[in-house]
Amino acid sequence: MNWKKRLTYFVLGATMVATAVGIAGCGSDTKQAAPAEKMKVVTTVFPVYDVAKQVGGDKIDVSLLVPPGAEPHDWDPTAKDLKEIGTAKVFLYSGAGLEPTEKILAKDVLQNAQPVELAKSLTLLPAPDEDEDEHDHDHDKEHKDDKEHKDDKAQKEDKHEHEHEHGEFDPHVWLDPMNVAKEVDAVVEAFSKADPTNAKYYEANGKAYKEKLQALHAKYEEFGKTQHDKNLVVSHMAFGYLAKAYGFEQLGIMGVSPDAEPTPERMADIVAFIKEHNVKAIFSEELVSPKLANAIAAETGVKVYVLNPAEGLTEEQTQKHVTYLDIMEENLKTLKEALAH
Minimum distance of Zn ion from residue 153's CB (angstroms): 20
Q: Which stretch binds Zn ion (CB under 5 A): 11-19, 28-36, 200-208, 235-243?
A: 235-243
Region of 42-50, 134-142, 236-244, 323-331 interacting with Zn ion (CB under 5 A): 236-244
Q: Is 21 exposed, middle or buried (0-12, 13-18, 19+ CB in 10 A)?
A: exposed
Q: Taking the CA atoms of the chain, what radius of gyration do you get in angstroms?
A: 22
Contact criterion met (CB below 8 Å) for 162 and 71: yes
331-335 long-range Cβ contacts below 8 angstroms, 24+ apart:
331/307, 332/216, 332/219, 332/220, 332/223, 334/283, 334/305, 334/306, 334/307, 335/223, 335/227, 335/307
In the bound state with Zn ion, the residue whose beta carbon lies nearer, of 188 and 238, is: 238
Question: Which one, 206 or 252, has the nearer CB to Zn ion?
Answer: 252
Using DSSP, how many helices (H) and how many strands (E) does the chain show?
14, 8
In angstroms, the Cα distances linking 225 to 59, 61, 228 are: 40, 41, 8
Scan residues 285-314 and list those touching Zn ion (CB under 5 A).
none
> Should residue 238 be labelled a site residue for Zn ion when binding is judged by CB under 5 A?
yes
Nearer CB in complex with Zn ion: 238/281 = 238
**Residue 170: closest CA among 241, 101, 110:** 241
- In the complex, what is the shortest distance from the CB of residue 318 to Zn ion, in angstroms, rounded to a whole number? 18
- In the bound complex, what is the minimum distance in angstroms from residue 239's beta carbon to Zn ion? 9
Which class for 333: exposed (0-12), middle (13-18), buried (19 or more C-beta within 10 A)? exposed
Regarding 328 and contact with Zn ion (CB under 5 A), the answer is: no
325 binds Zn ion, rule: CB under 5 A = no
Short-list 27, 260, 47, CA closest to 172: 47
Q: How far is the CB of 285 from Zn ion (least distance, A)?
A: 9
Instruction: Pick the stretch among 230-238, 250-258, 265-273, 282-290 that binds Zn ion (CB under 5 A).
Output: 230-238
Q: How far is the CB of 198 from Zn ion (least distance, A)?
A: 33
Q: How far is the CB of 309 from Zn ion (least distance, A)?
A: 6
**Three-state DSSP state, 303:** strand
Minimum distance from CB of 306 to Zn ion (Å)?
15
Using the minimum distance from each CB to Zn ion, give the nearer residue, 205 or 284.
Answer: 284
Told to check if 127 binds Zn ion by CB under 5 A, we report no
List interacting residues with Zn ion (CB under 5 A): 238
